[in-house]
């Protein structure tokens, strides 16, 4: 189940792109089915089954033109689970500094959502 959702950024490329951070209750929870709708110039994101919007953002005129044209948004989600690893007791050296370093894996998800207007 979704603990919280937060819209971090909105941008325009070929379509409107919404970046969001989603916190889940536990790491084995897969109950996330986002829905998007617009009231006026406010975009609302919520999980399926929830009646109240989890997060909202006000769109400017250019973003509203793109949304009305496409009737969809691209949603990029970064997942996290707060407190999953407990308390950090020993801090290790960051080894991702060199030219051959590898990036740590991050749980990300990308989808296209139809809008309810």
For 18-62, what is the HEC assignment? Answer: EEEEEEECCCCCCCCCEEEEEECCEEEEEECCCCCCCEEEECCHH
The verdict on residue 9 lying in a domain is: yes
The verdict on residue 98 lying in a domain is: no
Domain limits at 39?
2-83+109-116
β-pairing, 34-39 vs 108-116, is: parallel
The verdict on residue 55 lying in a domain is: yes
State the chain's mean pLDDT as an integer: 85
20: its two tokens: 């969001």
Rounded distance, CA 80 to CA 93, Å?
A: 23
Q: How many domains does the chain have?
A: 1
The verdict on residue 6 lying in a domain is: yes
The verdict on residue 31 lying in a domain is: yes
The verdict on residue 40 lying in a domain is: yes
3-44 pLDDT per residue, tens? 889 999 999 999 999 999 998 888 788 888 999 999 999 999
**Is 60 exceeded by the pLDDT of residue 86?**
no
The verdict on residue 67 lying in a domain is: yes
The verdict on residue 101 lying in a domain is: no
**pLDDT for res 117:** 81
């Amino acid at each position: 189940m979704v603990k919280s959702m937060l819209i971090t950024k909105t941008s325009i490329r070929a379509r409107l792109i919404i970046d969001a951070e989603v916190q889940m209750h536990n790491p084995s929870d897969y109950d996330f089915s986002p829905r998007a709708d617009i009231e006026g110039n406010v975009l609302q994101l919520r999980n399926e089954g929830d009646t109240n919007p989890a997060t909202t953002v006000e769109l400017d005129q250019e973003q509203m033109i793109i949304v009305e044209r496409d009737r969809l948004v691209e949603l990029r989600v970064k997942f996290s689970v707060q407190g999953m690893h407990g308390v950090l007791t020993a801090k290790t050296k960051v080894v991702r500094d060199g030219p051959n370093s590898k990036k740590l894996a991050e749980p990300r998800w990308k989808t296209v959502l139809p809008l309810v207007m």
